[in-house]
Chains A and B, each alone.
Chain A
Amino acid sequence: MTGLAPEHEIHRRRFGRNLGLGLALLFFVILVFALTIVKVGEQPAPLGAAPALQGQAHGQPKGQGG
């Protein structure tokens, strides 16, 4: 490798690191967005509702066990 080579091993590694971090951040943003949609979309249990009507979206018993 000559002294003034424009693409050095270091540059490749730095690019790989930036790309990896960028993709990780993008993944995190999408995950938080998806979580927000799900959390906002959850139906809050109406006051005084019977337990069977609660937890339509999250925390619903599977109907197995005990």
Chain B
Amino acid sequence: MADIRVDEQSGEAGFGDYVALLKPRVMSLVVFTALVGLLVAPVSVHPVIAFASIVFIALGGGASGALNMWWDSDIDRVMRRTCARPIPAGRVEPNEALALGLGLSILSVAMLGLAANWVAAGLLAFTIFFYVVVYSMWLKRTTPQNIVIGGAAGAFPPMIGWACATGGISVESVAMFALIFMWTPPHFWSLALFMKDDYSNAGVPMLTVTHGRKSARTHILVYTLLLAPVTIGTGFTQIGGGVYLAIATLLHARFLWGAWQIWRRDEAAAIADKYKVERKTFRFSLIYLAALFAALLAEAGLHHFGFGGWW
């Protein structure tokens, strides 16, 4: 045990520690949504260019993760969920994370510009700026609406993927952005309901702490209701179709049912069954988003063979 401790303080990080700085789990969502954005676009892209674009978008997402870990290392130390991250665990110096984040940001933006186009590169640069400066540095610790604004950063990848193929922005790419943007708040607030101690200990103004848990439950229901027109509306754009619409309607009905149950119950009921409904709805929200994007991909596949879609 003592041996390990000496190693940890020596600053000798393994390769895995640097990979962990890039938040690989967030990266996988970025890769998936960006890939869908690229593939559903009505312009075909050479496979090598498409692959390279996704790699550089993922790298840009990873860079913003490293910069976020550099800035948030003080609160990561306090929270149970994040105290094992490379910086609070003492395996990586904060300055190393800063250098890695800045270096990869510049590299990914420049390479995406050269591989795809400069509209996509500009969107990637703005995403990194938004996540690190607007969300992490500015709003995360000052407003309980932090999740709502932070959701925008996570919503950009499909728009960047779409821009890689088309070189621009359109109703369809904005619809995919809106989908993730409106989905993020109910997703994270359900998490905050059952991870309650962590955020309050770290002094992050989560809605559950500042406005109370009843208010958070109401917010989840309202945002899930507001998400409905976005989810269904996407089905009527060029990337939608009957298959997407059928899947989206079923998925949203299930999500709304979860949000309704969360809103209906009080803390006593939640504590009694250890936040069963909240945990279930949180897990379902992940399936919900993945399935919606998979349905968009299925529509694109059907389009390719002359089926599906409205047009």
Residues of A within 8 A of B (CB): 1, 9-10, 13-14, 16-17, 19-21, 31, 34-35, 37-38, 57-62, 64-66
Contact = CB atoms under 8 A, between A and B. Distances in A.
> How large, as a class, is the contact surface on chain B?
20 to 34
Given A21-B15, A61-B43, A65-B42, A38 B238 contact: no
Contact of B7 (A13, A64, A65): A13
Contacts, number: 70
Contacts of A10: 7, 10, 12
Contacts of A66: 42, 238, 311
A15 to B, nearest CB: 10
Given A1-B3, A35-B48, A38-B48, A16 B42 contact: no
A58 B166 CA distance: 10
B49 A35 contact: yes
Contacts of B309: 64-65
Contacts of A17: 13-15, 18
A9 to B, nearest CB: 5
Interface string B274-311: 00000000000000000000000000000110000101
A17 B15 CA distance: 4
B22 to A, nearest CB: 11
Given A9-B3, A10-B12, A65-B238, A60 B43 contact: yes
A19 B43 CA distance: 39
A10 B14 CA distance: 9
24 contacts: A10-B10, A13-B12, A13-B13, A16-B14, A16-B15, A16-B16, A17-B18, A21-B15, A31-B55, A35-B48, A35-B52, A35-B115, A37-B48, A38-B46, A59-B45, A60-B43, A61-B42, A62-B42, A62-B43, A62-B44, A62-B304, A64-B304, A65-B42, A66-B311
A14 B10 CA distance: 12
Interface of B: 3-4, 7, 10, 12-16, 18-19, 42-46, 48-49, 51-52, 55, 114-115, 167, 238, 303-304, 309, 311
B150 to A, nearest CB: 29
Given A35-B49, A65-B311, A13 B44 contact: no
A13 B18 CA distance: 12
B15 A19 contact: yes
Contacts of B44: 59-62
A64 B241 CA distance: 13
Contacts of B18: 17, 20
A9 B43 contact: no
B226 to A, nearest CB: 28
| For the complex of A and B, 3 pairs with smallest distance between CB atoms | A20-B15, A65-B42, A13-B14
A21 B285 CA distance: 36
A57 B45 CA distance: 8
Contacts of A14: 12
B49 A38 contact: yes
Contact of A57 (B13, B15, B46, B303): B46
A37 to B, nearest CB: 8
A65 B311 CA distance: 6
A44 to B, nearest CB: 15
A64 B42 contact: yes
Nearest to A23: B15
Contact of B52 (A13, A31, A57, A62): A31
